Amino acid sequence: MSKQNLKLWQFIGFAFTSLIGTLLHFLYTWTGEAVWSAPFSAVNESIWEHMKLIFVPMFIFAIIEKKYLNEKYDCFWKIKLKGILLALLLIPVIYYAYNGAFGKSPDWFNIAIFFITAAIVYIYETRLFGENIYCKNSTAPIIILCIIALLFVIFTFTPPHIPLFADPATGLYGIEI
């Protein structure tokens, strides 16, 4: 696969993540708060739920992209794990840094955090793919990503009562079933 092809795939990943993440932000409300939509859509405005909005489309796109980049990149899942972990770190770090420095962040900035994070992560992954270092195939990154996915499901319904999981507008945590 050429470098241009890789960049195109990563741009498509950014677009996919941006579009699907945005749609997932509203899905729970659009479905009348259907429980089936809660594990992969935002159920409130907490930082945790916004982290879910970037995780879900990035993980889905990685599964799709893997089919096409399979033979070329030995470290595919390790790179995707690093990218997703970076995304899950950047969202709360940027949000809490801004709010700690300037007080409550405006809605437009909270929205921008998502898109800025997605752009940074796909650029980072593209750089890592460009290095194309050899590594042993391992199932560990896939297992870790599946554990993270499971945590998003569990903490949607039974979140810890810490600020990361609290809806800043209502003070509520997760949803009750």
pLDDT by position in tens, the chain (length 177): 566 677 888 899 999 999 999 999 999 999 998 999 999 999 998 889 999 999 999 999 999 988 877 666 678 888 899 999 999 999 999 888 887 777 777 778 778 889 999 999 999 998 888 776 666 767 888 999 999 999 999 999 999 999 989 888 888 888 866
Neighbours of 70 (CB within 10 A): 9
- Identify any residues that bridge with 166 across adjacent strands, giving them in sequence order: 173
pLDDT of residue 70: 62
Would you call 173 helix, strand, or coil by DSSP?
A: strand
Q: CA-CA distance, 13 to 28, in Å (whole number)?
A: 23
Hey, what are 80's tokens? 């995707």
Contact 98, 116 (CB under 8 A): no
Contact 117, 90 (CB under 8 A): yes
Q: CA-CA distance, 132 to 144, in Å (whole number)?
A: 21
pLDDT of residue 71: 62
pTM flag (> 0.75):
yes
Of the CA atoms within 13 Å of residue 9, those in its CB half-sphere come to: 21
pLDDT of residue 134: 64
pLDDT of residue 39: 93
Cβ neighbours for 119, distance < 8 A, ≥ 6 positions apart: 14
Contact 28, 43 (CB under 8 A): yes
Cβ neighbours for 175, distance < 8 A, ≥ 6 positions apart: 33, 35, 38, 43, 44, 156, 157
